[in-house]
Chains A and B, each alone.
Chain A
Amino acid sequence: MTTPTLMDYDEALARFEPVLGIETHIELGTASKMFCGCPTGFGAEPNTQVCPVCLGLPGALPVTNHAAIEGIIKIGLALNCDIVEWCRFARKNYFYPDMPKNFQISQYDEPLCVNGYLDVEVEGETYRVEIERVHMEEDTGKSLHVGGTTGRIHGAEFSLVDYNRAGIPLVEIVTRPIVATGDKAPLVARAYATELRELVRSLDVSDVRMEQGSMRCDVNVSLMPRGATEWGTRTETKNVNSLRSVERSVRSEIERQAGVLSDGGRIVQETRHFHEDTGRTTSGRSKEEAQDYRYFPEPDLVPMAPSREWVEEVRASLPELPAARRRRIQKEWGLSDLELRDVVNAGAVDLIEATIARGSDAGAARKWWMNELSRRATEQGVELADLPITPEQVARVQAMITAGELNDKLARKVFEGVLAGEGTPDEVVAARGLKVVSDDGELASVIEQVIADNADVADKIRAGKVAAAGALVGAVMKATRGQADAGRARELILEKLGAS
């Protein structure tokens, strides 16, 4: 196979308009599976969370998990969808070893939630992504490919299947074609996935962890020449397992398709696979060779007709959604658009809010999480929320600062200690002897020495150049290894030099 020529991204965008579509699968975090009572925990020993139903044993029958239906209705409502008054499950028939019944219980032409939207922001502009449908289905098992190279499917000698994941409730969210995003297409795709993840997380119906597969995106891309009215042939890229990959896969597919089209080739409607390492997609199964899923209404399950009362109850129970929350905190915390974006992108909203709830002021809470703690999270390569420090502890440190017991420099040492596992902030303060020196007597002798050592500066201050006091304060801090109360030191210096 010849390597396709990629077209430079900017040139591709100059010549073509991309159209996107995103299908997202989200595993719900229910206690039991979609149609049986098996648990859903991640990472259990193989085939320990299976029963006749999710193993597809002859004679076994599914019974729908009420909490899963409530979960999808929450998602549907949060995405501004209509919840239909009546719908059915359908069987999607195809053979695959990790699918125990060789059909997936899904929904076909009667999805539970329809006609919604999600607004996402890219570089200050709002894009409305329309949601065509949100439907309920079940997950498949997992195959381990053995032999050949790198555990990939091609060249494997055989496969080993674990059905623990089979039957976990899966919500599929399908967008309408996303148009007119121009060169922002990859960013819009990423922003959509990010916003969707935040939204679902806020509903507390899934842990939405892309790296564990509880949120998975399939990204459709097609190109049409600028000025054209008809959409091009689309490809569907699977295996897009991080937010960054969502962006990269769209960009890569735009470059590839533009290359093929400008070489006079045509785009084949197919499934492609994204490779994290190369940032490129490769061809999977061609959709042209007839997948005929033979959908029909699932006879083992009865139709769902969620009552309007129930839907309204669920609506009333929805928490504050991320967009509304962002508007609120921006106002309450007095943030600029840029500051808000930074806080959101850092995943710091919950942490800051919790810190404020524990008595810290907004500015200080944001400062600690966004600067000192973000820096340390980056150093350690972990998410901010995964640092071994709690909002309560951050609030305690800030309380000590407010009380004059710590200054910022000492506070950083306290954080260092807490993160190193030395205990609570109070324990670290005690163990390391970190206390602000504000005792006038002790300070006075240090100040005397500093004035003596810096006679020229002292003269300037005596002559009225009060601003020069900073240098002396710095010297005092240095001499006390940061433990002095800088404010008090300044007062004493000015007093001593008759400049107050």
Chain B
Amino acid sequence: MDLVKKGATELGELLAAGEASAVEVAEAHLDRIAAVDGQVKAFLHVDREATLAQARKVDERRAAGERLGPLAGVPIAHKDVFTTTDMPTTAGSKILEGWRPPYDATVTARLREAGLVILGKTNMDEFAMGSSTENSAYFTSRNPWDLERIPGGSSGGSSAAVAAYEAPLSTGTDTGGSIRQPAAVTGLVGMKPTYGGSSRYGVIAFASSLDTPGPFARSVLDAALLHEAFSGHDPMDSTSVSEAVPPVVEAARRADVNGLRVGVVKEFAGEGYQPGVTARFDETVELLESLGAKVVEVSCPHFTYALPAYYLIAPSECSSNLARFDAMRYGLRIGDDGSRSAEEVMALTRAEGFGPEVKRRIMLGTYALSSGYYDAYYGKAQQVRTLIKRDFEAAFEQVDVLVSPTTPTTAFPIGERADDPVAMYLADLCTIPANLTGNAAISVPCGLADGLPVGLQIMAPVLGDDRVYRVGAAVERALEDRWGGPLLAQAPELVEAK
């Protein structure tokens, strides 16, 4: 029984039926990590013993007759942006190297409650700023489809881990596309829940008004199960919504689009879109129509302004959020020779401890908020946010969901955009609008272009998370029928190290 090739739903069933123990499942995945992570480089931190201890505890809970959820005993790779008391938490930054948080993030705590077994912490672009993991202070993670290409970012360690069968599930955070884009380029399902639908407490902040934790999985149903496990109101997060989690698992099981109105965002096509991406997207839209959806073209004229607005709002918030990394209370301290002032030590530590992209965004955000520029930049960006919200509202009067390619291109080669920030930022072109307005959005695999995965983005109104699962699952079912199995089965096998 090859446990690592099984999805979370199936593993959960095996565990519940007593056909496998959590320890066995964890061991299989730890072995897989040991065998392939040297190439994939998904993990920043793995602790075999700590993982097995968690697994044993789940087995004990089950043996004691405790009623456990559907994912109890299923392993998970956890993005290093979530605080964990039993593992270091660095957010991919040197400035936090070795930091052991004294508290668990709400998402971490809920994973533990649900009996998920945390395998380790996954690599990411430093402070979640990037689309490739090339901004990680530690190393670049690899795309299992082609090890010379990026696995997307910022949650690139999480996408790589699941695509390489190192874990059946992983967590991510999505600020401008940091779950959906890596899911798209690695052939996974990646979901950005409604903002506030999943707790930010214990998520090392990048941009507070945009950051949203969400799941990665190899199937829509698996993603929905994980979504359900860690979402829901959290009194520790003031921006957490109080409504019940939408019925995402039920929607993923329903998987039909009959009579649903699907809007194709007119603005997300044309120049800059890789022809293969456009072709797969168009075919998928036709597929939706053949499945009974009513497809219309919808114009969202301000969506093209989302990218510049985002690159003002996110850096502005991050310039403030990252001010706390100052060498006084935790983390790195550079240059404290007894004569330098606190101010100098702060500036030296921050210059040394932050990577180039983080510094760039801090500087940009500081600029956008500074007196004399606030109105022209941050203020205008906030107005654009209103315009995008209005576009969404108008669109959702006509349709139930909106669709677009998740990202304009397939995975690009490592190094290609490394020192061209503006080119790098284009990876988030289609994903950003949903972040600015808090809408739910998912990426599901919709085929290959030049041998690399392409993602379909499905967007729904705020708290309409179930809709994107429903449509995503319908697309998944129809395409897997066509392909004879999941897209990921077409990925090249990784050579296992002995």
Binds A, one of B19-27, B55-63, B151-159, B202-210: B202-210
Binds A, one of B141-149, B179-187, B322-330, B484-492: B322-330
Are A296 and B342 touching (Cβ within 8 A)? no
Are B329 and A63 touching (Cβ within 8 A)? no
CB distance from A110 to the nearest CB of B (A): 14
Closest residue of chain B to A163, judged by CB?
B329
Are A60 and B330 touching (Cβ within 8 A)? no
Contacts A95-B326, A300-B208; A57 near B101 (Cβ below 8 A):
yes
Judged by a CB distance under 8 angstroms, whether B96 is at the interface is: yes
Q: Please, how many residues of chain B have a CB less than 8 angstroms from a CB on the other chain?
A: 45
A59 to B103, CA, bound (A): 10
List residues of chain A with CB within 8 A of the CB of B201. 59-61
Are A59 and B205 touching (Cβ within 8 A)? yes
A299 to B346, CA, bound (A): 25
Judged by a CB distance under 8 angstroms, whether B86 is at the interface is: no
A101 to B102, CA, bound (A): 17
Judged by a CB distance under 8 angstroms, whether A115 is at the interface is: no
List residues of chain A with CB within 8 A of the CB of B89. 58-59
CB distance from A33 to the nearest CB of B (A): 14
Are B203 and A59 touching (Cβ within 8 A)? yes
Closest residue of chain A to B378, judged by CB?
A296
- List residues 81-107 of chain B with CB under 8 A from any CB of chain A: 82-83, 89, 91, 96, 99, 101-103, 105
One digit per residue, 1 when the CB lies within 8 angstroms of any chain A CB and 0 when it does not, for chain B 64-89 equals: 00000000000000000011000001
Contacts A63-B235, A292-B370, A299-B317; A102 near B323 (Cβ below 8 A):
yes
- List residues 295-317 of chain A with CB under 8 A from any CB of chain B: 295-296, 299-302
Judged by a CB distance under 8 angstroms, whether B237 is at the interface is: yes
Are B342 and A97 touching (Cβ within 8 A)? yes
Are A58 and B338 touching (Cβ within 8 A)? no
Judged by a CB distance under 8 angstroms, whether A352 is at the interface is: no
| A interface bracket (residues with beta carbon within 8 Å of B) | 20 to 34
List residues of chain A with CB within 8 A of the CB of B99. 58
List residues of chain B with CB within 8 A of the CB of A393. none
Judged by a CB distance under 8 angstroms, whether A62 is at the interface is: yes
Are B209 and A63 touching (Cβ within 8 A)? no
Closest residue of chain A to B328, judged by CB?
A97
Closest residue of chain A to B239, judged by CB?
A302
Are B369 and A296 touching (Cβ within 8 A)? yes
A244 to B96, CA, bound (A): 48
Are A58 and B343 touching (Cβ within 8 A)? no
- Cβ-neighbour of A101 out of B317, B324, B342, B371 (below 8 A): B324
Contacts A57-B330, A59-B203, A292-B370; A300 near B324 (Cβ below 8 A):
no
Closest residue of chain A to B343, judged by CB?
A95
A302 to B237, CA, bound (A): 10
Are A296 and B316 touching (Cβ within 8 A)? yes
A102 to B378, CA, bound (A): 20
CB distance from B86 to the nearest CB of A (A): 15
Judged by a CB distance under 8 angstroms, whether A100 is at the interface is: yes
Interface centre among A55, A59, A102, A159 (most CB of B within 10 A): A59
Judged by a CB distance under 8 angstroms, whether A148 is at the interface is: no
Judged by a CB distance under 8 angstroms, whether B122 is at the interface is: no
Chain A binding surface, main DSSP class:
loop
Are B369 and A102 touching (Cβ within 8 A)? no
CB distance from B471 to the nearest CB of A (A): 30
Are A59 and B204 touching (Cβ within 8 A)? yes
Judged by a CB distance under 8 angstroms, whether B200 is at the interface is: yes
List residues of chain A with CB within 8 A of the CB of B238. 61-64, 300-302
Are A63 and B323 touching (Cβ within 8 A)? no
Are B101 and A59 touching (Cβ within 8 A)? yes
Closest residue of chain B to A92, judged by CB?
B320
One digit per residue, 1 when the CB lies within 8 angstroms of any chain A CB and 0 when it does not, for chain B 190-225 equals: 000000000011111101110000000000000000
Are A300 and B343 touching (Cβ within 8 A)? no
Judged by a CB distance under 8 angstroms, whether A417 is at the interface is: no
A95 to B371, CA, bound (A): 17
A63 to B238, CA, bound (A): 6
Contacts A58-B101, A103-B320; A63 near B204 (Cβ below 8 A):
no
List residues of chain A with CB within 8 A of the CB of B96. 58
List residues of chain A with CB within 8 A of the CB of B103. 52, 57, 60
Judged by a CB distance under 8 angstroms, whether B394 is at the interface is: no
Closest residue of chain B to A101, judged by CB?
B324
CB distance from A401 to the nearest CB of B (A): 59
Contacts A58-B96, A102-B326; A296 near B101 (Cβ below 8 A):
no
A61 to B320, CA, bound (A): 14
A57 to B203, CA, bound (A): 11
Judged by a CB distance under 8 angstroms, whether A347 is at the interface is: no
Judged by a CB distance under 8 angstroms, whether B53 is at the interface is: no
Are B329 and A100 touching (Cβ within 8 A)? yes
Contacts A60-B202, A62-B238, A302-B239; A91 near B320 (Cβ below 8 A):
yes
A sample of 28 inter-chain contacts (CB < 8 A) reads A52-B103, A56-B329, A58-B83, A58-B91, A58-B96, A58-B101, A58-B330, A59-B105, A59-B201, A59-B203, A60-B201, A61-B201, A63-B236, A93-B369, A95-B346, A97-B342, A100-B329, A101-B324, A103-B320, A158-B338, A294-B374, A295-B369, A296-B316, A296-B317, A299-B208, A300-B208, A301-B238, A302-B238
The 8 A-B pairs at the shortest CB distance, nearest first, are namely: A102-B323, A294-B369, A299-B208, A299-B209, A59-B202, A58-B204, A56-B324, A101-B324
